Chains A and B, each alone.
Chain A
Amino acid sequence: MSHSQVQGETSPRVHYLNTSYGIKSWLLTTDHKRIALLYLASITLMFFVGGFFAVLIRLHLIEPQGALLEPETYNKMFTMHGIIMIFFFLIPSIPAVLGNFLVPLMIGARDLAFPRINLLSWYIYVVGSVFTLVAIVTGGVDTGWTFYAPYSSVYSSTHVIVTALGVFITGFSSILTGLNFVVTIHKMRAPGMTWFRLPLFVWAMYATSMIQILGTPVLAITIVLLGLERLLHVGIFTPALGGDPLLFQHMFWFYSHPAVYIMILPGMGVESELVTCFSKKRIFGYGFVAFSSVAIAVLSFLVWGHHMFVSGQSVYAGLIFSVLSFLVAIPSAIKVFNWTATMYKGSISYQAPMLYAMGFIGLFTMGGLTGLFLASLATDVHLNSTYFIVAHFHYIMVGSAVMAYLGGIHFWWPKMTGRLYPDGWARFAALIIFVGFNLTFFPQFLLGYLGMPRRYAFYPPEFQVLNVMSSAGASILAVGYAIPLVYLIWSMRYGPIADSNPWGAKGLEWETPSPPPTENFEVTPVVTEEAYNYPTQEVAVV
């Protein structure tokens, strides 16, 4: 254990990255900051594996009859793309990387409440990933990421069990991370850090953790039941064995709808940090933004049935789930309006993280509003299972969640690595990603309304123009994602040294040096002010 004392000019400062060297010092670390970097490396790998499948999908769909792959292979590609991106990238992305790194720093704690459990959750994640990667290498799986029975439990002849086991195992990593955060946020806040002084990122992580703890076990149970039916022919979901296929969908979506909010709530938390910092202003309506996270987390558990409007669920169940789904739109709208209002009369600068933040608001607005089409029963009947759905959830999960993740990575990169990256390149990449994203997914809204079903390996020729536009966009998007990978890695060695607070941001994480010492703070900070207390004019304007 090393201490970061005041160092002389000659000897370099000791921090969490140089306190010890060697592979063992990383693989056995219990430092939340190092574990965050372990996660960063692993989910980046998974992101590019999942992205590789996306590229193949879009290349294949350039021609109506399919340009590249056999239908069986195509089905495996979209399945693996979905499983990897959702369970192995998006769900751990912001919580396990930024949350891990920042929650203790933001609340003035030395580490998470259970550092060894934190390391354990990374190992569990790695084991789950290995299972899934093995399934890919040995032939893949073709059920779609939704694993609908009875196709998955009886009919598919691919590696359902190995893949599902990978998802099952990884779920425990998610539960443990959530548990760790909840305990940490309750018990380890620095003196003076009251609940309503918490950065909104911490509120969002808290709401996310609750969903992870309460929802993920249901997914685990569902996978176990699926395995029992597939391996031992216990009749649970398959009618021929006495089961009910709708039961699977209820159980699956009871987790997987809240899981959407596991992916987007952390992004909303990042957004609040970015907008305030680059507007140099307090957040507009702190209480509304904080409690809308909680409202979203609660409502997220009550809307799963909107995935089943055409599945055979009763008309009355459909009505209830429809009205509840409309209600989720309200807290989301509140957030969007408050972020926008935060910029009012601010002092706005456009470094790369702010470009991501502005892109996030716009794309999240579109993603959220197109959700209304799907909460609405009459239009959902037509749009369900078409490319409209694909476009909608990519606006939320890629347009919003990935934008927020990249914005967050760019924002806290100097803190994590102690280095600055070239801002010009970063802005350029943000722009490319924004353009590429819209070109990829906007045409899919039109395709969906025209009636093109999703998960089609080939399609009627009248849909080709829009598909080609989408594929063209995807190639731009792929370039956009590759650029940050290059300059961020470059910056780790060659980037200019960052000081403790390169953005002039508020928050405890900026009061400790970059990179922080292993114990985060030399003295436990005492909090005496509200969140985002940027200097203001004398006169208060309301």
Chain B
Amino acid sequence: MWQGFPIYPDQASTIAQGVDHLHFFLTGITLFFTAIIFTTIFYFAVKYRRRSEDEKPPLILGSLPLELAWTLIPLALTVIVFVWSSSLYFRNARPPAASMEIFVVGKQWMWVIQHPEGPREINELHVPVGRPVKLTMTSQDVIHDFYIPAFRVKRDVLPGRYSSIWFQATKTGQYHLFCAQYCGAMHAAMGGWVYVMTPADYEQWLSGGAKGESMAAAGNRLFGQYGCVSCHIADGTGRGPVLQGVFGHPVKLQDGRTVVADEAYVRESILNPGAKIVAGYSPIMPTFQGQISEEQVLQLIAYIKSLGTEERKPAKP
């Protein structure tokens, strides 16, 4: 139970060490000033203890140099910490372009995790060591929070939008996965394990076990099942926009705005189709809100992604 009484959790991602260094620097500042204040108070309390009832202290009103010193020194320290911390944060904010993607849906009280290749897991996340991994996450009900202490990453997972985090694991092993945003009765149970594997083990894991269809294939199936295919026709003759080559590209809207067709846009177009109509089309698509789960939306997105991200030729108006 003691195991040498650790003071920090496993460092198992590329950012963990950087965060720990900042943490230790802040701990140093805290201990330094706490020690100064405690010893000074203690020293004054002993040295200047009242010796007789009628002793009179000298008149001291203050000191501008001292006030400036204890304003400016802490200010300088906080500026240093701010710059250090923010550059670390900023650097960690954007996932590298080459990240592999994994999709996460939080719901009371479990994490459903889908790999594009097909495997689906609950409260477990298998990732390869040494590769950047980007998680695209959403919630089906309340706000959750995806937290892996060993990686020093945490992000709220909200209903109605996608949030993402990325990490690159540096050490194979088994690490805690927690929900860090209170989400109801079994909040404490909403967690599990992250397994960091060698790339070879990961490949084997991906291809082994219950081999489901890939997310894109599942999306393709849904595309037919929900009748999307009857309007979104590849040759441009349908009543809805062509989806081939759309993903990741700007789309011109009816009202003159332009948006990039990313995950959030595709999701909104499925659940609230009237919100952003593509220029040249009528708002005739029905909403699929309430008929389709967040996991299925992610599969449809994977399918639309699989239709290619090449710029399409201008088709029908």
Contacts and interface: CB of A to CB of B under 8 A. Distances in A.
A155 B3 CA distance: 40
A453 interface: yes
A350 B51 CA distance: 12
B62 A315 contact: no
Which secondary structure dominates where chain A touches chain B?
A: helix
B158 interface: yes
B41 A326 contact: no
Interface string B182-219: 11111111000000000000000000000000000000
Contact of B58 (A71, A377, A464, A536): A536
B143 interface: yes
Interface stretch (A192-200, A412-420, A444-452): A444-452
A327 B59 CA distance: 32
B313 interface: no
B284 interface: no
A376 interface: yes
Interface stretch (B23-31, B119-127, B236-244, B246-254): B23-31
Contacts of B188: 71, 453, 455-459
A287 B86 CA distance: 33
B263 interface: no
Contacts of B74: 329-330, 333
A453 B22 contact: no
Interface in B140-160: 141-143, 145, 147, 149-150, 152-156, 158-160
A540 B59 contact: yes
Interface of B: 1-3, 5-9, 15, 18-19, 22-23, 26, 29-30, 33-34, 37-38, 40-41, 44-45, 48-51, 55-63, 66-67, 70-71, 74-75, 78-79, 81-82, 84-86, 88-90, 92-93, 108, 141-143, 145, 147, 149-150, 152-156, 158-161, 163, 176, 178-189, 289
B58 A537 contact: yes
B145 A310 contact: yes
Interface of A: 71-72, 75, 142-144, 148, 150-151, 154-156, 238-240, 244-246, 279-282, 284-288, 310-312, 315, 318-319, 322-323, 326-327, 329-330, 333-334, 336-338, 340-341, 343-350, 358, 361-362, 365-366, 369-370, 372-373, 375-379, 381-382, 384-386, 446, 449-451, 453-462, 464-465, 534-537, 539-542
Contact of A348 (B19, B45, B60, B84): B45
A244 B159 CA distance: 9
Contact of B143 (A150, A338, A347): A150
A464 B1 contact: yes
A379 B30 contact: no
A462 B1 contact: yes
